[in-house]
Amino acid sequence: MEDNTPIIEGRHLFKKYVLHQGDYYALNDVSISVQSGEYVAVTGHSGSGKSTLMNILGSIDAPTSGEILFEGISIKDYTEKQLAQLRNRSIGYVFQSFYLEPNYTVGKNVEMPLLIAGYDARERKKRIQAVLEQVGMEKHIHQKAYMLSGGEKQRVSIARALVCNPKLILADEPCGNLDSENTAIVMDIFHKLHQEQKTIILITHSNEDASQAERQIRMKDGKILS
C-alpha cells in the first residue's frame, strides 16, 4: 500500500430500504476516506446513519450502491469467504453491547478470533496475554464474562478486537452503556492506541468523546455535513 492510499475508503455510498410509506435512505451519497494511523470520530444524532456507515465500512453490511476500498482494493466482488477473512484478520470491532459469550472465560472470549484465523496454541496464548495486559484485564483471564462489570466487559471486547493485530479498529458507541468513570478508561485506551499509530473510526453521539479524535465527521439524515 502506498503512503497516500487510504486504509479504508467509501465512494458514493447509498443504503436504501424500501418501506410501506416509501424509500428510506440510511445513507445518501456518502463518501469517506481514512488514512492509516488516523483517529476519526463520526458523530450525529440517532438515525443520522453513522452506525449504518460503520457496518458498511466494516463489511458487516453491503451498500445498495457505491463502493468500499480497503487499502486501495475494491471489495465489491469479494466472496463471503474473502469478506470473512477481511473481517477476521484486518478489522477489529468494538460494539456498545460487548457481544461476549457470557459463559466463556475472558481468555476464551479473546481467543475466538485467533481460533478462526488458525493461530497455533502457543501464539494464541502469547497474543491473549499481551492484549489483556494492554487493557488492564490480565488478572481476569479465567473469570467468566457474565461476572464482569460493564466497563470490564468493554475492555475485554477491545482486547478481542486487537488480538489479531487489525489494520483498522471500528468502535460503535463503545461508551454508550458505560458510566463516566469507565468511559474515561475506555477513551484512554483508544488514545493510547492512537499514539501507537492504530487506525480508529469512532462512532459516537458524545461531543466530549468525539473531541478526543484528531478529525470529526458529522452526519445528519444519511449525509455527511463536514
% residues pLDDT > 90 (the chain) = 94
- pLDDT for 4 equals 87
- pLDDT for 43 equals 95
Summary mean pLDDT of the chain: 95
Looking at residues 72-80, what average pLDDT do you find?
Answer: 95
pLDDT > 70? residue 122? yes
The candidate with the shortest Cα–Cα distance to 117, out of 164, 82, 155, 152, is 164
What DSSP assignment string belongs to 27-63?
Answer: EEEEEEEE-TT-EEEEE--TTSSHHHHHHHHTTSS--
pLDDT > 80? residue 49? yes
% residues pLDDT > 70 (the chain) = 98
Looking at residues 14-24, what average pLDDT do you find?
Answer: 90
Read off the amino acid at residue 89. Answer: R
pLDDT single digits (tens) 168-181:
999 999 999 999 99
Tell me the helices (H) and strands (E) count for the chain, helix number first.
7, 10
- pLDDT for 226 equals 65
Q: Could you please state the CATH topology (level 3) that the domain comprising 38-62+79-224 is classified under.
A: Rossmann fold (3.40.50)
The C-alpha cell at 173 is 458507541
pLDDT > 50? residue 123? yes
pLDDT single digits (tens) 182-205:
999 999 999 999 999 999 999 999
Looking at residues 85-93, what average pLDDT do you find?
Answer: 96
Range of weakest confidence among 18-27, 33-42, 90-99: 18-27
Strand partners, 27: 15
- pLDDT for 21 equals 84
For residue 5, the 8-state DSSP code is S
Residues 6+ apart with CB under 8 A from 6: 33, 34, 35, 36, 69, 72
- pLDDT for 140 equals 98
pLDDT > 50? residue 89? yes
